[in-house]
A and B are shown apart, each in its own frame.
Chain A
């Protein structure tokens, strides 16, 4: 019998199951709602990221940051631009962002800021450390896209107005107090993808576009030892695919991780092709295709970055989901190369960035995370959807460190956009809980109301629309009380007195009702969590500190003397629905 190969593959074609469709639509809606609600905001983390953890922000701290304590006052100051920043090799800062208030405790809200911002001490323990809210507003590129710089300081932030053009270069800003930001010149045409700052080095990872419109973008790191006054370039041993036609496609680093210790820099990045069909591939200097799994690269003493090869990393790192320096050692968290979406991540450690040792696996998969150490203990804070951090003495045996009591009505496993600082003295996490929509959802059809009790698919009550009489309540299947019949295939039949089907409710109708209700969910609850030891946690409300509900957490940084958290906060203004608010927590003195 001859083989028709086309028929062979057509025959195995599968229809999407209703259950998968519903679950994926729900997850996509949650992710998109978190990321897209503020059009002018920076990218924030999807609610759920599966196989490819290309979207995450992370931070790590190698030293310091004492416990956060002390009495707090919460005030709002306004930041404004005095001058539009410009790119170039200007020898001096061109733009200064200045607070209009000299004292956050006494200044009135600036024009345009949301009224009703709390000005009294918050009640939660960590709020007593002195969180000051600073509203950066919405009218600047900085407010639109301030991005995190990892490391133990000083405070830097960067921005790329990608909405204007995928090829736009970046701007770098520095602050000493989190409230005033000064632009730091960087080489013209350099676009930042990731950045880290320590007391001695500022390192930027990004790309430079070539003069030839169809040539490949050049991946480079920019290093500075003098806080950005001068920069030097360190190239990578990779070449991205070129664009296929002038201006057609830009393959560039999409997300990246970077960590420095001394003169050693370890980095990892993914590539993205925004419109065309080129896969996520990079090539080494010999023209060989490199894994798509975002290998690690290492540079020492400004030498070009080299790929950490399998010989040094026996099983291969797999997609790197976290990278940091702690106690002078590099730490990397990576998903096994051959893993699917749910394989536990593996912890790797290296003294020099070249040779890595696998310490063990986490009990669970983490699509993105912050990794660090408290003393001798390893700590991992998942980026998304976690209720606890993970702590281990050896990297092999892990225990969960529960974040503590959740805000009322928050979903139990849904701390999103969880950015963290981990240092020898504690863990500070900023994130958002998605509040549960606990209202009943009604859907009427053919004189019958289908009520999703508490908005849940698992508790359905059917009512006669005319009389209000309860016809049946379905919590498990199969179910059949003579009036309501659910056989477990998703469809629910309503029967008349003779046992004939009066009407039926389909899974799609249920999904539609849920979606309609989900279109107006309760506002998220933002929290800043802190624990000295991973066991006892305190929390402060971002909603209370910032005076609004957060739509995304954009960064967390710590310098040892202060901690800053950046979040987008929704307002009631129709013209400026979200503001970027920086919350500054001062160390106790």
Chain B
């Protein structure tokens, strides 16, 4: 994860001006970071970013959060992302409707990829080909450079299940790419 702002700088958030100053300095980086986690889902990214900053306000009003570093909001945003992943995961299990979108329009997007060049649209299409749980587990591992055990702990899954989830994601991606290369 790359934070372009000074990660060690502490911002006072005891006043509205302080909150806004902090927002202006770090919001772009937070947005970029979250967008990677979500695989380029703009709506979800905005929801998480918004929630993270409102969490900042809530904690400030509790009186416990007087100063904050950029890492705090990054972590909070990631936690909100994990909350979302867990929530969706539970819903999927409840509905037993684990739908796989593999092989549809997303694959066509990958076929348009020129060798060695990966556009945002094509990357989005490829990631969209993964079921949400696979995509999000993979994003935590790749974007945050977490181990499988760490991803498992964050998602509330066993290490074995998470390993399987990540393997399925990579197998699915490889299948799409190989299909494209064969065309």
Report which A residues bind B (CB closer than 8 A). 1-17, 20-21, 24-25, 27-29, 31-33, 35-37, 39, 43-44, 46, 48-52, 54-55, 162-163, 166, 254, 272, 274-277, 279-281, 289, 291-293, 310, 315-316, 337-338, 340-341, 515, 519
Contact = CB atoms under 8 A, between A and B. Distances in A.
A16 B29 CA distance: 9
Interface in B42-66: 42, 44-47, 49-51, 53-55, 57-65
B47 A51 contact: yes
B40 A49 contact: no
Contacts of B47: 50-51, 340-341
The A interface is mostly helix, strand or loop, or mixed, namely loop
B142 A51 contact: no
Interface string B22-42: 011001100110011001101
B51 A51 contact: yes
Given A12-B120, A315-B94, A519-B17, 8 more contacts: A5-B138, A12-B35, A28-B53, A52-B54, A54-B55, A272-B59, A277-B75, A277-B79
Contacts of A51: 47, 50-51, 80
Nearest to B126: A8
B83 A39 contact: no
Contact of B57 (A32, A277, A340): A32
B20 A11 contact: no
| Chain B interface, DSSP helix/strand/loop, else mixed | helix
24 contacts: A1-B115, A3-B170, A3-B174, A7-B123, A8-B123, A8-B127, A8-B142, A12-B123, A12-B127, A13-B120, A15-B28, A16-B31, A21-B27, A28-B20, A29-B16, A36-B14, A36-B60, A50-B47, A51-B80, A279-B154, A315-B94, A316-B90, A338-B87, A338-B88
Contacts of B60: 32, 35-36
A340 B23 CA distance: 23
Interface of B: 14-17, 19-20, 23-24, 27-28, 31-32, 35-36, 39-40, 42, 44-47, 49-51, 53-55, 57-65, 72, 75, 78-80, 82-83, 86-88, 90-91, 94, 113, 115, 118-120, 122-124, 126-127, 138-139, 142-143, 154, 156, 170, 173-174, 177, 180-181
A28 B19 contact: yes
Given A24-B50, A291-B86, A292-B86, A3 B31 contact: no
Most buried by A among B57, B80, B94: B57
A4 B36 CA distance: 14
A365 B172 CA distance: 37
